[in-house]
Amino acid sequence: MVFCPNCGAENADSAKFCKQCGHALSANRPIKDNYVSTGIDPSARANDNNFSSQVSNNSNSKSDNKNLIIICLTIVICAILIAGALVMFSNNNANGNDGTDILSDSASLNGSQVNDDNSVETQTQASSLEILGGSFSTGSSASDKTYCTVYVGSEHAGEKVKISVLYSNDGYALNQGKIVSKTVSSDGYVKVASANPLDYYPDDAYITLYDNDGNIVDTQEVYLSTSSGKQTF
């Protein structure tokens, strides 16, 4: 059996012309020889373009798929690079800014203030209220009042404070140690006298200093000699 090279119709081996289209079959060959020589499926029509078109389409389809894969990979890589750049930019803004945060932290540690133009203005912090020293004075007899003068510093001049001084002798209290309100003098002193004579010279005085709101800011115990005159601490 041979196929017509013109229309692909099947014909007997002995046929000289195609029974369908009349094409001369003088060069007809057996099916196997025809397939091996031409590479064309014997069942395919010799003049049918579908076969060659199918081969061409398959080749084009593979090429298009390859190009599509390359394009998709390129888009993914670009998206990853852009996302990484955005993350780095965001971290830099959060951590660094323009150095203002670092300047602000440094200024705060040094008691300074950063202005809008990033200039640093040094601020003087008010010192805490505390007992820095002082003295006690007693009269010529135990029946006189005892005076206590406490130095807190001239920077507190004019401030309102409260103070109590509890006197004792040989472990016995000589007064009630009442809290009284005072104003710090211009030279930084707080002066307070015992409400009444103490009857005995005190050998111990316990000072409690309060702010104007009644919060204890400092205390100090002073041991005294049981005699008249001025004693400093």
Average pLDDT score, the chain = 79
Beta strands in 120-179 (DSSP E): 120-122, 133-138, 146-151, 160-169, 172-173
Q: How far apart are CA 168 and CA 203, in angstroms?
A: 6
Q: Is the pLDDT of residue 218 over 90?
A: yes
Please check the confidence at residue 54 and state whether its pLDDT lies above 70.
no
Cα–Cα distance, 225 to 229 (Å, whole number) = 10
* 93: pLDDT strictly greater than 50: yes
Apex 190 CA angle, 160 and 204, nearest 5: 125
Would you state the pLDDT for residue 152?
97
Distance between CA atoms of residues 196 and 174, nearest Å: 10
Q: Which of 35-39, 200-204, 211-215 has the lowest mean pLDDT?
A: 35-39
Lowest mean pLDDT among 8-17, 140-149, 186-195: 8-17
**What pLDDT shows up at residue 56?**
52
Band (pLDDT 50/70/90 cuts) for residue 13 is: confident
What was the pLDDT predicted at 62?
65
Inter-residue contact 165 to 207 (CB < 8 Å): yes
45 — pLDDT class (breaks 50, 70, 90): very low
Rounded average pLDDT over 146-167: 97
Report which of 33, 37, 41, 44 is spatially closest to residue 6, judged by C-alpha positions.
44
- Rounded Cα distance between 166 and 179, Å, is 10
| pLDDT over threshold 80, residue 126 | no
From 233, 201, 230, select the one nearest 219 (Cα to Cα): 233
